[in-house]
Chain A
Amino acid sequence: MIPVEFDYVKVTSIDQALAALKSGGEDAKVISGGQSLLPVLRLRMAAPSVLVDCGSIDEMIGVRDEGDSITIGAATTHHGVMSNALVQKHALLLAQATATVADPAIRHRGTTGGALAHADPAGDVPAAALALNTSFVIAGPGGRRTVAAKDFFLDYFTTAVGPDEILVSFSVPKCDWGSHYSKFSRTAQAWAIVGVAAVVNVQGGVIKEARIGLTNMAPTAVRASTVEAALVGASSPADITAAAMHAADGTRATSDLHAQADYREHLARVITARAVRAASGI
């Protein structure tokens, strides 16, 4: 279908973007790659008054080395993130998760920051961002603030980014642990029925620490904290399988066309074990 009429403003700085959002009022909407927004517009499930195109703001594109962390501009495409040498070296989990998003053409356009700000519970990147202890830089009328991963994802399609604010960038502490993103879906380019993002610190064949993010097991991506605690000291596949039995603890899986909630809980346990084994090499 053809989207409803809207105005379009292309901005080249954060200040211009914030001003455009302010003057556009409550129905103004940020667009960058538009790979989630344009399908919604075509279905007329959204009717923005103005689209503020932030896809050409230099500050929001590219990956920077910040010493202990890397900072990724929010308008960097999925393809730009997954093929970036800094990401592959210091935040491999993010590259692994991004590489499973949709298909190559969509990854050329869609942005990782956009996917994070969109916060689809079935999206692949939020779980990886949680597992990597990502922090988010948000610009608004009152200046800039930094939000920790645990405070960023609030509810279905809802993050700490307010309607008059923009996600500028996100930072990932450098992490050289083993990592893996495992995603279960029925067909190519499909959303995850369940996904598991794992980073694991293994020393001498024993897991010292693990961080696990779950995709599509709650209204937002969530950490599997019970599994993380149970994995400490694990040194065998049986240990990992036992710890992964807690993967659905505290989650709020839903039933839909693709899976019943109890099936999702089963998948979370199985796929958590697979992801941790792949990440740890145990």
Chain B
Amino acid sequence: MAHITVIVDGTSYQGEVEPRKLLVHWLREDIGRVGTVVGCDTSNCGACTVLLNGRSVKSCSVLAVQAAGCEVTTIQGLADGNEWHPVQTAFKECHGLQCGYCTPGMVLAAVDLLSENPTPSESEIREGLEGNLCRCTGYHNIVKSVAYAAELMSAGPTKGAK
């Protein structure tokens, strides 16, 4: 067992983990952050995407021990109190979800994309989300959501409020 300390959504968590434990399993089973879901478990689908030190990663493809000393942001840490993140608002407004299973990963991949490219073109959005699969195939509204989120974020933080 290895002792790890990880800051998740602003709170420091410590624990003993088996080295083989995947970050997504540690988030869900050990600290109860079940907003992050396991999708394909083959690193294809991106449903388990979180931000690790600010960059999107697939948490099924990171060992929990490798996250020791890092900061993790999950879908549960994105809102500021009762105020949604603009990407969350945009997904609601543009109906960027159907069954919702891919949504946590989609939203975090979109947050990462917009942090690097605040004004992406449609093709840049599609390529930026290529690691995230929606089996409802609702990509069109997801792309519209990310484009709208870019508008909200360029207009200023208050426009993104719920």
- Measured CB to CB, the residues of A under 8 A from B are 1-8, 10, 34-35, 38-39, 41-43, 51, 53, 55, 79, 102-106, 108-109, 188-189
Decide if B73 is an interface residue (CB 8 Å cutoff). Answer: no
Pair B62/A34 contact, Cβ less than 8 Å: yes
Pair A34/B66 contact, Cβ less than 8 Å: yes
Cα–Cα distance between A105 and B47 once the two chains are bound (Å) = 11
Pair A2/B20 contact, Cβ less than 8 Å: yes
Decide if B103 is an interface residue (CB 8 Å cutoff). Answer: no
Pair A8/B65 contact, Cβ less than 8 Å: yes
Q: Which of A43, A51, A53, A108 contacts B55 (CB 8 A)?
A: A108
In the bound complex, residues from chain B placing their C-beta under 8 Å from that of A5 are 18-20
Pair B43/A38 contact, Cβ less than 8 Å: yes
Pair A38/B55 contact, Cβ less than 8 Å: no
A interface footprint on B7-33 (CB within 8 Å = 1, 0 otherwise) = 000000000001111100100000000
Known contacts A43-B42, A108-B56, A189-B44; 12 further A-B pairs (Cβ under 8 A):
A8-B2, A34-B61, A38-B60, A38-B61, A41-B20, A103-B131, A104-B112, A105-B46, A105-B56, A108-B57, A108-B112, A109-B61
Pair B131/A106 contact, Cβ less than 8 Å: yes
Pair A106/B20 contact, Cβ less than 8 Å: no
In the bound complex, residues from chain B placing their C-beta under 8 Å from that of A1 are 41
A interface footprint on B43-54 (CB within 8 Å = 1, 0 otherwise) = 110100100100
Count A-B contacts at CB 8 Å. 86
Cα–Cα distance between A104 and B129 once the two chains are bound (Å) = 8
Q: Give the Cβ gap from A267 to chain B, nearest Cβ, in Å.
A: 21
In the bound complex, residues from chain A placing their C-beta under 8 Å from that of B128 are 104
Closest to A110 in B: B61
Q: Give the Cβ gap from B127 to chain A, nearest Cβ, in Å.
A: 8
Pair A4/B20 contact, Cβ less than 8 Å: yes
Q: Give the Cβ gap from B114 to chain A, nearest Cβ, in Å.
A: 12
Pair B18/A39 contact, Cβ less than 8 Å: no
Cα–Cα distance between A4 and B20 once the two chains are bound (Å) = 7
12 example contacts (A-B, Cβ-Cβ < 8 A) are as follows A2-B22, A5-B18, A8-B63, A34-B61, A35-B43, A39-B61, A53-B65, A79-B55, A103-B46, A104-B56, A106-B131, A109-B61
Pair B20/A3 contact, Cβ less than 8 Å: yes
In the bound complex, residues from chain A placing their C-beta under 8 Å from that of B25 are 2
Decide if B113 is an interface residue (CB 8 Å cutoff). Answer: yes
Decide if B122 is an interface residue (CB 8 Å cutoff). Answer: no
- Measured CB to CB, the residues of B under 8 A from A are 2, 18-22, 25, 41-44, 46, 49, 52, 55-58, 60-63, 65-66, 68, 109, 112-113, 127-128, 130-132
Pair A104/B113 contact, Cβ less than 8 Å: yes
Closest 6 CB pairs of A and B: A103-B131, A8-B19, A188-B130, A108-B55, A105-B56, A3-B20
In the bound complex, residues from chain B placing their C-beta under 8 Å from that of A8 are 2, 19, 63, 65
Pair A106/B61 contact, Cβ less than 8 Å: yes
Q: Give the Cβ gap from A159 to chain B, nearest Cβ, in Å.
A: 22
In the bound complex, residues from chain B placing their C-beta under 8 Å from that of A189 are 44, 130-131
Q: Which of B19, B21, B49, B66 contacts A7 (CB 8 A)?
A: B19
Q: Which of B49, B63, B68 contacts A38 (CB 8 A)?
A: B63
Q: Which of B20, B43, B61, B131 contacts A104 (CB 8 A)?
A: B131
In the bound complex, residues from chain B placing their C-beta under 8 Å from that of A102 are 131
Cα–Cα distance between A41 and B18 once the two chains are bound (Å) = 14
Interface centre among A5, A7, A39 (most CB of B within 10 A): A39
Cα–Cα distance between A38 and B61 once the two chains are bound (Å) = 6
Tell me whether A105 and B58 are in contact in the complex, defined as CB-CB below 8 angstroms, given that A8-B65, A38-B63, A42-B42 are known contacts: yes
In the bound complex, residues from chain A placing their C-beta under 8 Å from that of B131 are 102-106, 188-189
In the bound complex, residues from chain A placing their C-beta under 8 Å from that of B18 are 5
Pair B42/A39 contact, Cβ less than 8 Å: yes
